Structure 1
């Protein structure tokens, strides 16, 4: 019996903050028409909203904002950032922020922690840029661990595309675009099952990566997401609908009994997935990185999660490229637990290629 969170449970828009010119864009007019009863609040810029950005006054409304607030703006600067892991390029965002509230997520830090979905209404400009960028790359001649044939573009770095697709057709439009690009495909990771996306006809040019972790841990830290069993159960349907289906083991959280819980997860994958889904499966394994400022905010709304996320006894400081004080597992411990999980994958799900693990 599936217990998937419905779109209405995830998103119920009551307030829309919007830049002045969003009605000049077709997508902006479509979204406003979709939520005719929502209160509209005009703002100068989508990323300068004092009552949302900066955690003073917003922590107590954290989950309400996630479900009920939408921000509309236009994407100004467009660039594709080189990547070397699950994609070759990180595409300019068609959105940022998220309706879900995973307590370890790094994206809130980009907007002062309060981060409901911001949708960019100038999708034609974004799509045009991506089409031109892919055209400049030419044919991909050398297979690599990312993909044997195509240049791969990550479109979900700053949010969850399955949730974005419940707001408007931005994700649908990009999936359609990549079916027309002879040398490129797109990818994104997700923690939400949006069955409407089964009707998008991606033609094997979209790689959807279902984020998985043990059930017990997901219930604690994956707030407002689709349950793990429901993500696994729908993977075959997405493959049959024309998606390349992968998984993402991220973040991996270390705690007493952690490896036994991963063993139970892999057992479920073995029992639920059909052979065709298994044979095209690949994953990345990413162990937890946490952040001191996010820890402080989480203590105000979800302190139980911090019992497993904030472990100074086994974590060390790592400064980010932007100078933020992050923590990750100490080197010796991390080396050991990375090897343990990789070995367990090799033992229990040998059909699943590991692109990288760290």
Structure 2
């Protein structure tokens, strides 16, 4: 897909002290993107929908001052951020309720400081291996062309004896990662779904074909890989569509003999998320009929609506069997 280009950029003056900050400004200048030097982002739409749409076309170039990284169990030991928010407009996104009415993208350019903090956390945990997730509040691949910082992270972890990196993405901008010394210390996990789900609900992300092509490139480059099949949805042709998805992955990854992990997540929503989604996407086709769901207590102190146990079990058994049948080298890490 085409690389994301913002309509407007705000630049924190502090970010221009860093090489990546200067290069981002030069990149945006060449594209004639309006730039405002400020430590405050101003978005003034006439409605919540306008605020959301404008925010998704706005970037804020700034720095990440986080010194103590948050836990990211069970995915990794810690999480860190190269950016926040992303250009995607996924209607069901779990970040809908956490990033406010104006989820503009922050892009952090002080990569030297970020890697220094990571190294400190690695050293504290020696001689153990320490793992890090960089996609908890963003899609780092979607914004990589602005800074090149994910490539620097992969190179850093490639030369680290005790650090490991996990990346999650719905984007196909992976070419810059193919010919670097990753040493198998970075694992790429692609968020995938059926054509129908992607086309209806995952706007401004890479297509079904583009993601599978990107996964093949990363696998061919020797990276450990995995797939997050999420959110799994029940609709008229869901079984045929998920069967097509898993079969296509099998065909494209023929010859990849290392372990392939799968994480399976059924569609869920909270009452707060439902209200916000209907505000931002009034014509959404998402199935959010609360009467057809059951309540499940979530890890962050909120009830969420999931499929009833009978349907949930059917999803788990059907998708798991598809994976086991098509991938002898697969491991299903969890279903939730």
- Does TM, normalized by the shorter one, top 0.5? yes
The 8 Å contact of residues 61 and 109 in structure 2, kept in 1 or not, is answered as: yes
Which residue number corresponds to residue 97 of structure 2?
109
Measured against aligned partners, the alpha-carbon deviations of 1:227-262 in whole angstroms (never above 9, x if no partner) come to 112222232321232422221112212223322211
Which residue number corresponds to residue 59 of structure 2?
70
Which residue number corresponds to residue 57 of structure 1?
47
- The correspondence for 2:122, drawn from 126, 134, 138, is 134
Measured against aligned partners, the alpha-carbon deviations of 1:70-101 in whole angstroms (never above 9, x if no partner) come to 1122223333333333x322322121010111
In structure 1, distance between residues paired with 2:125 and 2:149: 23
Measured against aligned partners, the alpha-carbon deviations of 1:267-293 in whole angstroms (never above 9, x if no partner) come to 2122222222x5431111112222334
Is 1:22 the counterpart of 2:15 in the alignment?
yes
**Which structure 1 segments of 5+ residues have no match?**
141-149
Q: Which moved more, 1:110-119 or 1:128-137?
A: 110-119
- The correspondence for 1:292, drawn from 271, 295, 308, is 271
Output aligned runs, 1:232-247, within 5 Å: 232-247=212-227
Measured against aligned partners, the alpha-carbon deviations of 1:310-348 in whole angstroms (never above 9, x if no partner) come to 121222345656555643223453244323322332233
- Cα distance, 1:254–1:120 mapped onto 2, change above 3 Å: same
User: Number of aligned pairs?
Assistant: 333
Q: TM-score, normalised by structure 2?
A: 0.88
In structure 2, distance between residues paired with 1:315 and 1:108: 20
The 8 Å contact of residues 164 and 171 in structure 1, kept in 2 or not, is answered as: no
Q: TM-score, normalised by structure 1?
A: 0.83
In structure 2, distance between residues paired with 1:38 and 1:263: 43
Which residue number corresponds to residue 72 of structure 2?
83
**Which structure 2 segments of 5+ residues have no match?**
none
- The correspondence for 1:161, drawn from 120, 135, 140, is 140
SS of residue matched to 1:290: coil
In structure 1, distance between residues paired with 2:61 and 2:302: 28
In structure 2, distance between residues paired with 1:346 and 1:322: 32
The 8 Å contact of residues 94 and 119 in structure 1, kept in 2 or not, is answered as: yes
In structure 2, distance between residues paired with 1:285 and 1:256: 20
